[in-house]
Amino acid sequence: MTREEINNFNYRAFLILIRSNPDLTQQVLKTGYNPTDVFLGDLSTPFLQLNESFKKALLKVYRQNFEEILNTKLKAEFDKLCVENRLLNKRNYLKEVREIEKDVVQDIKLELKRLNRSFTKDDDEPIEFMTYDTTSGIEEIHADGMVNIGGNMDDIGELINYNTINIYDAIALHEQLALLDK
């Protein structure tokens, strides 16, 4: 394989092939990796993050079956899977946004814990976050991260995750809380 072929190798399609073929599965298992491990990533998405040593193990199995022993049936199946299951070696923006959301939620909860108090619209000086159009339904934010919104108690993380509170407003809340003194 050339360097360009390695750089453009479709690990996603090859893992799908391996998982459907017991012989290939056994060959990968002999390298010390379990190709059916759910922690490898979600094969339904074109974005796949694999560590370099696992990639080398997969390439070794590929070379054994497609270069040393030319298995035309497997090759045809792999080529078909490559067309049906593209791999994008690009950034997975959705995953990155989800990670940012988790970080913001964690940081907001840390600030609320640090301040150890609840915030309401009726405070003498309510935090600006509670006056935004998009957050006007929020009646109270508790020190444990629970939010009273429209009479219902919800975790702030869930509200951010489901975009009831958008990420920009959540970031603004974090910044506002960080500036408050205990």
Determine the pLDDT at residue 41: 61
pLDDT tens string 107-141: 999 999 999 999 998 888 878 888 888 788 899 99
d(CA 179, CA 182): 10
The dihedrals phi and psi of 167, each to the nearest 5 degrees, come to -60, -35
Query: Do residues 90 and 47 touch, judged by C-beta distance below 8 A?
Result: yes
Closest CA to 91 of 52, 58, 46: 46
Token pair, residue 108, equals 């907001």
| pTM across the whole model | 0.57
For the segment 82-116, what is each residue's pLDDT rounded down to a tens digit?
888 877 666 667 777 888 999 999 999 999 999 99
The CB density around residue 90, as the number of other CB atoms within 10 Å, is 8
Q: What is the C-alpha separation between 14 and 20, in angstroms, rounded?
A: 10
- Name the token pair of 114: 């640090």
* pLDDT confidence bin for 162, thresholds 50/70/90: confident
Q: Degrees (nearest 5) of the Cα angle 44, 23, 41?
A: 25
pLDDT at 114: 95
Residue type, 107: D
Q: Over the stretch 20-78, which tens digit does the pLDDT of each residue have?
A: 999 999 999 999 888 877 556 667 766 677 778 888 999 999 988 888 777 778 888 88
Q: Report which residue type is found at 170.
A: A
Name the helix (H) or strand (E) containing 120. strand 119-120
- What pLDDT was estimated at residue 92? 63
More reliable by pLDDT, 162 or 69: 162
